[in-house]
Amino acid sequence: MKFISFIVPCYNEEQTINIFYKQILEVMQRIDVLYEIVFINDGSKDSTAEIIRRLCKEDPSISFISLSRNFGKESAMFAGLEHAKGDAVIIIDADLQHPPALIPQLVDGWQNEKYDVVYARRINREGEPILRSWFSKKFYSIINKISDVKLVDGVVDYRIMDRKVVDSILGLRERHRFSKGLFEWAGFHSKCIEYKNVERAAGNSSWSFNKLFHYAIEGIVSFTIVPLRIATFVGILTALAAFIYMGITIIQTLLFGNSVSGYTSTISLILFFGGMHCIFLGIIGEYLGRIFNEVKHRPHYFIREHIESRVRTFEFKK
């Protein structure tokens, strides 16, 4: 029988975990597979850890990984992927925004239609702040114009991935992880399932505007060096313009003598180039900072506590 691992990153989800767990149980009763649920507690400050620990005692199919602090959803997912034992893995949010009702379709696409990946795409953004939707749309249009990966607006982390896809993703060791891009970059035979956006079951989204902005920069910088190329291009253009202007000034001085006017243009040019330099140094800095973080080779996370699921473990001794 096939074995599926759920990966559930949890950060301050004390209000949703039990509802989530019940819904998963309900759905999985109708599907003929073995499964484990890997809850990753990403340094929650509420009682998330205790709730999961309690579930672990009652249900042997639950696995609990508690990280040593909040490392972010990307790292929590990575920890889950590293510890999942299934023939396939389903990544799903704990807040029920990824409807468990889709699980049968995901599993069917993988098991019967033999897709390597079946991913979910939300077709509307209802219940989301307008400004956030607007920025998201802009982000997708920019990243698709300038990077190698093509991201579709609304595609979420909610997906089933075959073991070979999971192993490939685990082979991408970068510390700055932008999973949406990595999943897309990895390729494989994929199918999309669409669903309507649902609001959180309880609690609040942990995404602040600041975090989203960083996430967007991450997405762009991780997948393209076009911003650096833009810097080069603009540099060449402005240098060219500057040389032309220099020629004009020299000729003017030779023909008409040296007049001391030109204060405005001088100041404007200094400010313009000053600004340009700062922006492009910043862009170079974004890349340099990432190189710095990558070369340190720090682990993606630390584990403080780990309770393994006890489903079919005997079959996984590789």
Q: Smallest distance, Å, CB 74 to ligand UDP?
A: 8
Who contacts 131 (Cβ-Cβ below 8 Å, separation ≥6)? 209
User: Binding residues for ligand UDP, per CB under 6 A?
Assistant: 9-11, 13, 42, 70, 72-73, 76, 93-95, 97, 205-207
Ranges assigned E (strand) in the chain? 3-10, 34-41, 62-67, 88-91, 117-122, 155-162, 190-195, 303-307
Q: Smallest distance, Å, CB 213 to ligand UDP?
A: 14
Range 158-189 burial, b when 16+ CB lie within 10 A, else e: bbbbbbebbebbeeeeebebbbbbbbbbbeee
Nearer to Mg ion, 95 or 157 (CB): 95
DSSP for residue 101: G
Check residue 13 for interaction with Mg ion (CB under 5 A): no
Q: Smallest distance, Å, CB 140 to Mg ion?
A: 18
**Residue 136: which of ligand UDP, Mg ion, none does it interact with, CB under 5 to 8 A by kind?**
none
Torsion of CA 23, 28, 29, 34, to 10 degrees: -140
The residue range among 25-33, 76-84, 91-99, 265-273 that interacts with Mg ion, by the rule CB under 5 A, is 91-99
The residue range among 47-55, 90-98, 284-292, 293-301 that interacts with Mg ion, by the rule CB under 5 A, is 90-98
Antiparallel, parallel or unpaired: β 34-41 and 62-67:
parallel
| 153's tokens | 């607006």
Look at residue 248 and give its three-state secondary structure: helix
- The rounded distance, in Å, linking the Cα atoms of 153 and 146 is 15
**Residue 9: which of Mg ion, ligand UDP, none does it interact with, CB under 5 to 8 A by kind?**
ligand UDP
97-136 binders of Mg ion (CB under 5 A): 97
Check residue 87 for interaction with Mg ion (CB under 5 A): no
- The rounded distance, in Å, linking the Cα atoms of 139 and 132 is 10
Q: Smallest distance, Å, CB 94 to ligand UDP?
A: 4
Residue with tokens 């209802």: 126
**Residue 23: which of Mg ion, ligand UDP, none does it interact with, CB under 5 to 8 A by kind?**
none
**Residue 3: which of Mg ion, ligand UDP, none does it interact with, CB under 5 to 8 A by kind?**
none
Angle at 10 between CA 309 and CA 117, to 5 degrees: 70
Check residue 95 for interaction with Mg ion (CB under 5 A): yes
Q: Smallest distance, Å, CB 68 to ligand UDP?
A: 13
Nearer to Mg ion, 11 or 64 (CB): 11
Q: Smallest distance, Å, CB 266 to ligand UDP?
A: 49
Residues at the contact surface with Mg ion, assessed by CB under 5 A = 95, 97
